[in-house]
Amino acid sequence: MNMKNKQYLVTGAAIDSEIGFAICQKLDAEGAKLILVGRREEPLQQTKAQLGNEHYVIPFDLSQLDDINSLAMTIVEKYGPIDGFIHNASFQGYSPLRNISPKQIRDYFDINFSAAVMLTAAFSRQKHFVPGASFVYIGSAAGQRGLKARTLYAASKAALTSLTKSAALELASKSIRVNCVAPAIVKGAKSNKQFLTIGEQQTSMLLASHPLGLSEPEDVANCVYFLLSDMSNKITGSTLAVDGGFLAG
């Protein structure tokens, strides 16, 4: 589907976000206009410089939950209503139970879950969205399968899956679809860093648990594109795994 004249907001759109950048490249190639959101302006500008169409950069810290409504109002006033958003921004890491603190809980849930709730509430207001809009969260296979020492990350991503179902039911009357994409391990610098952290033995086990191999960032971007497009116009409340078979085992 040609996305010319469509406008989407992408969080976590910095060039060093492998999935976020791949999503931006895919939507740009299909003609969409993008609103690039992230904490750091320079990496957002670098993303914009790599794309071909007209796009906008808005530096914003999504952990500032009280300001998300104002962010949405500013975006709509400047650029008009959106055809959807992709919440890709994510707080990641390991959280062994022996070291968990209340601040860590807030760090994971503010970005991964609470920001998604606030974005959904803000952009589902009248005149903030185009009828037929599609909201997509980037979740994780970790939210559907237990992983040692990833309690907070997994729980925050599981919460996104639950949000997807409830928000889809509530917003269907507004012709807004809500879905989630759940990657497992995705190739790139972040997964390489993860492998160094967990060691050779656990890395081998993780690789073996992906029978089709690790996904590429482009695989996730293609799934997002499908969920934004009219090809999925009867899909809502779903979490689609892009996991190389990780959840099948």
56 classed as catalytic: no
Q: Residue 33: helix, strand or coil by DSSP?
A: strand
Q: Residue 208: helix, strand or coil by DSSP?
A: helix
Here the tokens at position 247 are 């959840």
**H-helix or E-strand containing 55?**
strand 55-59
The Cα 19–Cα 182 span in angstroms is 12
Give the position of tokens 């795994």: 241
Q: Which candidate in 8, 108, 137, 153 is catalytic?
A: 153
Which candidate, 40, 48, 87, places its Cα nearest to that of 68? 87
Q: Residue 152: helix, strand or coil by DSSP?
A: helix
CB 163, CB 182: distance < 8 Å:
no
CA dihedral 137, 71, 66, 155 (to 10 degrees): 10
Measured over the CA atoms of residue 115, residue 7, residue 123 and residue 182, the dihedral's sign is: negative
Q: How many CA within 13 A on the CB side of residue 221?
A: 19
Q: What secondary structure does DSSP assign to 165-193, as a single string?
A: HHHHHHHGGGT-EEEEEEE-SBSSHHHHH
> At residue 196, what is the residue type?
L
Residues marked active site are found at 153
